[in-house]
Structures are given as structure tokens and as C-alpha cells.
Amino acid sequence: MTSSTIFDSFIQRVIGVIEKSPDMIGLAVAGSWITKETDAFSDLDLILVSENNISQDPAQMKAIANQFGTILSAFTGEHVGELRVLICLYDEPLLHVDLKFLLPDEFYARVENPLVVWERENRLTEIIRQTTSNWPYPDYQWIEDRFWVWIHYATLKIGRGELFETLDFISFLRTMVLGPLLLIKNGHQPRGVRKLETKLSATDLAAIQETVATLDKKSLVTALWKCISIYEDLRTHLFNDSIELKPEAEKRVKEYLHLTAKST
């Protein structure tokens, strides 16, 4: 079966279960399904809207999820700050499904408009019609206030020889700063580092690849300088005059990175 057939079959199975419950008022599909970018390696993001607050009870969330198929493992999404999501791995076929349990009032606040595949009395469709989705964009001032402190922190770790820690921290910079800003620069929604390989210009993709270091002090220093270079370029493209830069912090941190590089 193709991925589309697998997803369609699972969605129909979910509908067959929830339409029997008077508490359930709608089912919508989010994520790559919206943009028709699903493939054999996609997961499935489902939003279940009910009259009663199911997400307050993980046991109830799992009980409902168990009705949709054979679950190999399931857990709530506190690691991504979303307790209303139950992350499930189903078997036969092997399928990753995120089930988000919402109340009708919670459906109003959306980062995107999911595709409604089942509902009672057009309730989800009406909410979408009456309101606007709002994808969260980064706060440039928030980033500038922190960026040079983060670079200094990474430099300290290089100086102490904590190379794995530095590798992880540069990855953090890509996810929190460089990836989202590069996606915005290239006309896409800021989704961390997701699909940078296909969303960026050839020049920007080549640049971000240079931030991937090896477990070596000189390589990490080089990657950190590249992070700085990319960030400075992004500021010229994205920031306006309302963003208060931190030139003294920038100057002193660069000096410190130079000194640390000489000593490695």
C-alpha cells in the first residue's frame, strides 16, 4: 500500500470509532497532509475535538487511542511542551500517529488550518471560517539579546574541552536561530531545521552545512565562526531599525573567541 492509502485507511478507522461517541464533535488532519507533502516516511497528525476535556486524563487518551489499532507504545508530549498530544506507534502497518485532544474553544487558537475530515454540524469548519490561524514567528529582539551570550557559552565549552557539549550547543543554535531565520529569509515558515535540505537556496544550504563540526576543537571553532557569519548576514536581511543590537557584547565575545582559538 502507498503511504496515502495507509493514512486514508487509518483516518477512516478513526472516524468509524469516534462517530459512535456523542462526545466527539470533529476530526482534522494537520501537518504535511495540509500541503500534500506526505510520503512513505511521514507521520500522521490528527486533531480530535470533543465536548469533554480528554487531555486532562492520559489514561483516557490512551484508551481512546487503543480503539484505533494495535499500539506498540504511546506517551504524552511533555518533552515538546504539549501535554494534549498523545504520541503513538501503531502496528500493522507500522505507523507514527500524533493524536491531539482539544476542546472546541481550544481549536480557535491554531498555528495552521487543518483539513477537517469529519465533524458534527460543521462546527470545526465554522471555527476555521470565523478565525485566522497564526504560525508563531521568532522574536528577533529575543534572539539578539541572547545570541552573544550563547556564543560565549559555546566558547567556554570549547576552552574546557567539552566537545560533545559544544556539538550539541551548535545544534541548538541551528534549531533555535539559524534554521528558522534562514527559512524566513527563503520565504518559508520557521520550522526549526526541518527540510532545510530542500527549502534553502544553494548558497544558504552550503553555508549552514559549514556549521556542522567534528569532535575537534579547531573544527568547533570554525563552525562557531560560521554561525556568527550566518547570523550577521541574516540580521541584514530580516532585522529592522527597531531591533536593538548588542555591539559591545558582540565585540567582546568575538575577542574572546579569537583568544580561545589561539589557545586550542
Element (H, E) at 108: none
- For 29-75, how does the pLDDT look when each residue is reduced to its tens digit (9 = 90+)? 998 878 777 888 889 999 999 999 999 999 999 999 999 999 999 99
Model confidence pTM above 0.85:
yes
- Cell of residue 111, nine digits: 498555528
- For 127-172, how does the pLDDT look when each residue is reduced to its tens digit (9 = 90+)? 999 999 999 999 999 999 999 999 999 999 999 999 999 999 999 9
- For 102-137, how does the pLDDT look when each residue is reduced to its tens digit (9 = 90+)? 999 999 999 999 999 999 999 999 999 999 999 999
| Torsion (CA) 241, 242, 248, 252 in degrees, nearest 10 | -90
Q: Which CATH superfamily is domain 3-130 in?
A: Beta Polymerase, domain 2 (3.30.460.10)
pLDDT value at residue 255 = 97
Q: Which of 169, 168, 111, 178 is nearest to 143 (CA)?
A: 178
- Cell of residue 99, nine digits: 493524536
Extents of the domains making up the chain: 3-130, 140-263
Cell 507533502 maps to which residue? Answer: 37
Q: E strands of 4-94, at which residues?
A: 24-30, 44-50, 70-77, 82-91
pLDDT value at residue 80 = 84
- Cell of residue 75, nine digits: 506517551
| Torsion (CA) 110, 138, 168, 186 in degrees, nearest 10 | 100
Question: Cα(148)–Cα(154) distance, rounded to whole angstroms?
Answer: 10
Which of the four CATH numbers 1.10.240.10, 1.20.120.330, 3.90.1150.10, 1.20.120.530 does domain 140-263 have?
1.20.120.330
- For 175-196, how does the pLDDT look when each residue is reduced to its tens digit (9 = 90+)? 999 999 999 999 999 999 999 9
